Chain A
Amino acid sequence: MSSSVGIVKAQRATFDTPLTFKSGAVLPRYELMYETYGTLNADKSNAILICHALSGHHHVAGYYADDTKNIGWWDNMVGPGKPIDTLKFFVIGLNNLGGCHGSTGPSSIDPATGKPYGSSFPVVTVEDWVNAQARLADQLGIQRFAAIVGGSLGGMQAMQWALAYPDRVAHVLAIATAPHLTAQNIAFNDVARSAILTDPEFHGGDFYQHGVVPTRGLRLARMLGHITYLSDDAMADKFGRELRHGKLNFSYDIEFQIESYLRYQGDKFAAYFDANTYLLMTKALDYFDPARDLNGDLDRAFSAAKAKFLVVSFTTDWRFSPARSHEIVHALLHNRLDVSYAEVTSDHGHDSFLMEDAQYMTVMKNYLDRVGEECKQ
């Protein structure tokens, strides 16, 4: 596609005002890692916030001078001439609280004890994240975002912005997301968590002090997640029933290519991701439900929103299916909010939102071009 934003640098923001979590827990001080691309215009009206999903972070686009192969996770979407055009917009990516990429999280040192937070790190919710993001925006001098964009768990944050800070976001782009998880979805998360929680090396979350990592649990959690992010068809296309050694070995070693792929993905992930962060992220997914205190009335939940919305789903995404996006669209319609909805035909399941699909890219680009025109006015 178009060119890259090039060399980028991660930055660290420090917050000394205590943050009270939804659970009641208080974090006296915390740090957030972030990156920015593009230039903030004079009236600070062209900022776009990118909210990441379960395993994402602040490195959204470009690459590092000392690590040119480390390309941002949404580099196909964010860059000069790309749908989230860094020639027009000032784009911010951050690593959420509880993350494991430099923002304060379970693996960070708790200044009160001199040890990693581990099990004492508060359970964090989408609401807490958005509050922390709002403080980052304050620090960067951004009163109102031109758009907040997120896929999956990131889409939940983008929607939460419209509910909690209706005057601070003009457009919400909620992609491959849901107004709350279904029981089946929570069930998948619980199996993933169980894999971690029952790993003997988890030590109740305080494995850092033991010098071990619950790799087996984390690996299983990721393998399960991966299955649910792909579609049946995509998996069949990519792997089929292909055997690694061309014949049956009558053993429990890797035989089918899909096994090889899943184990590889599991190992890769377990080598860098923090088990406590994984637990927190899945919990935040499970808890998000803006209609919970309103007898499940999503229309009322969205009544505070003022933003304009673009909702996108993918036909083969069964973890965050189009039907879940329809729920969002109808709640917005009933509140007479501006909303467009694209249901993109794609083979790649939930992972589609990270892929480069022509229709998806066109929809995003067309929508954001209009957002860009509003910034100029």
Chain B
Amino acid sequence: MNTSIIQARPDYAAIAAWIPEGSAVLDLGCGDGSLLRYLRETRKVVGYGVEISDANVATCIANGVNVIQNDLESGLADFENDAFDFVILSQTLQATKHTEALVNEILRVGREGIVSFPNFGFWKNRLQVLKGNMPISDDMPYQWYDTPNVHLCTFSDFENLCHTHSVQILERQVMTAGRRVIAFANLLGSMAVYRVKRAA
């Protein structure tokens, strides 16, 4: 099961590599709970997910994953400062409405944040825009009219946001089709996972 999950979601392995065993983890927009399940199996985390959809909540429960049904954009207020070692936002950032406020909330509730998102600046996306169309890719498999993604950005856009909000980037792993990208990340990387914390 783990192998197929890693193939489907290459960001999972990167996330797991950063999380020490037994950490307390909050996964915002946890979907069907597959990341939390993977982290529980591989890193023995004490994990909780936040999820709004009825169907996903029911699936998480069937998977034995702790899930709290709430809107992650309004529901974090109840969480105390530093309640978790890690707060994860996996492929969800670009679909949030109050993205700026959420980044701050993540680092209030978690000692560190882990954020992954697709790169709008990936060369294939740029090419599609140059041709005159909104990009569609494995990481952004939607038409412009049915996409949940309202705040797409490039790696450098996100890094600028971090800079203006005193968010320190501890690590970054850039990937394309499951492979690590080292150079010209903002052009050659289709998605990235960031490990961030509040700047001291």
Chain A residues within CB distance 8 Å of chain B: 310, 326, 329-330, 333-334, 336, 338-345, 359, 362-363, 366-367, 369-370
Contacts and interface: CB of A to CB of B under 8 A. Distances in A.
B66 A339 contact: yes
Given A345-B54, A362-B58, A330 B79 contact: yes
A351 B58 CA distance: 21
Interface pairs A-B: 3 shortest CB-CB: A366-B62, A366-B61, A343-B69
B46 interface: yes
Contacts of A362: 58
Given A330-B78, A334-B80, A341 B58 contact: no
A334 B83 contact: yes
B68 interface: yes
Contacts of A333: 48, 68, 79, 83
Given A310-B61, A342-B61, A366-B61, A329 B54 contact: no
Contacts of B67: 340-341
B176 interface: no
Contacts of A367: 61
Nearest to B80: A334
Contacts of B58: 342, 359, 362-363, 366
Interface of B: 24, 46, 48, 54, 57-62, 64-70, 78-80, 83
Contacts of A345: 54
B24 A340 contact: no
B78 A370 contact: no
B61 A340 contact: yes
A341 B78 CA distance: 14
Contacts of B57: 340, 342, 363
B54 A340 contact: no
Given A341-B70, A370-B62, 7 more contacts: A336-B46, A340-B66, A340-B68, A342-B57, A367-B61, A369-B62, A370-B61
12 contacts: A326-B78, A333-B48, A334-B83, A339-B68, A341-B68, A341-B69, A362-B58, A363-B57, A363-B61, A366-B62, A367-B61, A370-B61
B79 A359 contact: no
Majority secondary structure, A binding face? helix
Contacts of B24: 336
Contact of B66 (A334, A338, A363): A338
Contacts of B48: 333, 339
Contacts of A334: 80, 83
Contacts of A359: 54, 58
B56 to A, nearest CB: 11
Contacts of B62: 366, 369-370
B108 to A, nearest CB: 15
A342 B83 contact: no
A198 B79 CA distance: 45
Contacts of B64: 370
> In the complex, which of the residues A341, A344, A367, A370 has the most CB atoms of chain B within 10 Å of its own CB atom?
A341
A171 to B, nearest CB: 12
A337 B61 CA distance: 15
Contacts of B65: 340
A344 B83 CA distance: 26
A237 to B, nearest CB: 21
Contacts of B83: 333-334
Contacts of A338: 66
A219 to B, nearest CB: 38
Contacts of B78: 326, 330
Contacts of A369: 62
A340 B51 CA distance: 11
Contacts of A340: 57, 60-61, 65-68
B46 to A, nearest CB: 5
Nearest to A329: B68
Nearest to A361: B58
Nearest to B50: A341
A199 B63 CA distance: 54
A339 B49 CA distance: 10
